[in-house]
Structure formats: structure tokens, C-alpha cells
Amino acid sequence: MMNITAEFTTAATKLSQIPDDGLPQVAFLGRSNAGKSSLLNALSGKKKLVRISSKPGKTREINFFKINQAFYLVDLPGVGFAGVDFNKMSEMENGIRAYVEKSKNLRGIIYLIDSKVGLQPIDVETIENVRAAGCPILPVMSKCDKANQSEQAKTRNAIQKILGNDVKPLRLSVLKKVGMEEIWQEILSTVAV
């Protein structure tokens, strides 16, 4: 794993707050609780860079982390969270849509799908929206330590059914340190720095 510096810069709740310094951005997207913030912590090597929680709906803003002064990793709120603060969350979903559709510096989305929970209708809808916005998408099967072979195969097949059989979802376990190096390579080639 390369040595990196990660620095929190911005918690955006409006498009106008999104960094526009021209540095490329790669964002983590997926349902609430899929493990987006945990992945960001693990990649940065800092356990407490981002707050994580066993309760869905932890991340409420679009959080920007500047990596090696060269690009941003972006932690997005989870989609499909119907918790107490539903109105705020649905606003945020519009925020995510606006970010994906309008951000000039967004180079790609890393889309996390919990290997055991599998692909849900909200995932399919969100992935279609990202593709319609013309943004490249890398599917990642998160928490693979929790899913057995047949659950993983089921999740992989569902992903390939919508993204095509040539797409190879990456297997990730932050807990067991599986797939981290591959995700770094994808991020680096996406931002091309």
C-alpha cells in the first residue's frame, strides 16, 4: 500500500460548496451501511478520518478528502435510508444526483454493494442514474467476509445482469483486508496522477 496523506477539506450540503480547484474526484456511493466510510478510513490508513456507525444514515454531507494534494476521495451519504430524518435525507439524495450530474471534476464512482444483502432495487435505480449521467462506475462487493460463496455468486450475477458480463465486481473486505490494493489501483488509474 502506498504512503498517502489524507486531509479532510469540506462537508458540502450544497453544490456551491463543492471544491472546484480542478483536482479530479472519485466518489464512494451505495446504500446506507454498505461500508463506504469504512473503506475510506482503511484506504487512508486513518481509522478516525471519517465517522462510521453500525446504524445506517451516519454520513449526512458530501465529504471531501484531499489525497496527496493531488485528487479527492468523496464520501457520499448512503442512498435509500428511510430513517427518522427522512426529509433531510431525501434532500440529500437530490444533492447526490446533482453532484453526479453536474460535477465537472468527478471522474468515477465506486459503487458499494453489501455482498450478503445483495443488489436491491434502489441500487439498480441509482446505478442507472449514474450511468445516464455518463459517469464511469466500478462495482464493489463489500463485506465479503460476511457472505458465503453462493451469496457472493448471487450478488455478482445480479450486478453483471445490469452492468454486463465483462464487468468484474471487486471483492472487498475492510475487516479481512481483501481487495484494498485493487481498489487503490482503480482509483489511481481513474484520476491518472
Closest approach of ligand GTP to the CB of residue 146, in Å: 5
Locus of grid cell 450475477: 157
Of 98, 56, 61, give the one whose Cα is nearest residue 81. 56
Task: Kindly tell me which of 11 and 175 has the beta carbon lying closer to ligand GTP.
Answer: 175
Query: Would you say 103 and 18 are in contact if contact means Cβ atoms under 8 Å apart?
Result: yes
Task: Kindly tell me which of 32 and 190 has the beta carbon lying closer to ligand GTP.
Answer: 32
Task: Kindly tell me which of 20 and 85 has the beta carbon lying closer to ligand GTP.
Answer: 85
Helix, strand or coil, per DSSP, at residue 138: strand
Q: In sequence order, which ranges of the chain are alpha helices (DSSP H)?
A: 36-44, 86-102, 121-132, 149-163, 180-191
Residue 38 makes contact with Mg ion by CB under 5 A = no
In the list Mg ion, ligand GTP, none, the entry touching 88 (Cβ below 5 to 8 angstroms by class) is: none
Q: How far is residue 99 from each of residues 14, 115, 154, measured CA to CA in Å? A: 9, 26, 31
Closest approach of ligand GTP to the CB of residue 29, in Å: 9
Helix, strand or coil, per DSSP, at residue 136: coil
In the list ligand GTP, Mg ion, none, the entry touching 174 (Cβ below 5 to 8 angstroms by class) is: ligand GTP
d(CA 30, CA 115) in angstroms, rounded, equals 12
Region of 28-36, 41-49, 82-90, 138-146 interacting with Mg ion (CB under 5 A) = 28-36
Residue 152 makes contact with Mg ion by CB under 5 A = no
Task: Kindly tell me which of 18 and 147 has the beta carbon lying closer to ligand GTP.
Answer: 147
Query: Would you say 18 and 96 are in contact if contact means Cβ atoms under 8 Å apart?
Result: no
Residues that bind ligand GTP (CB under 6 A): 30, 32-38, 52-54, 56-59, 77-78, 143, 145-146, 173-175
In the list Mg ion, ligand GTP, none, the entry touching 33 (Cβ below 5 to 8 angstroms by class) is: ligand GTP
Residue 59 makes contact with Mg ion by CB under 5 A = yes
Query: Would you say 56 and 81 are in contact if contact means Cβ atoms under 8 Å apart?
Result: yes
The contact set with Mg ion (CB under 5 A) reads: 36-37, 58-59
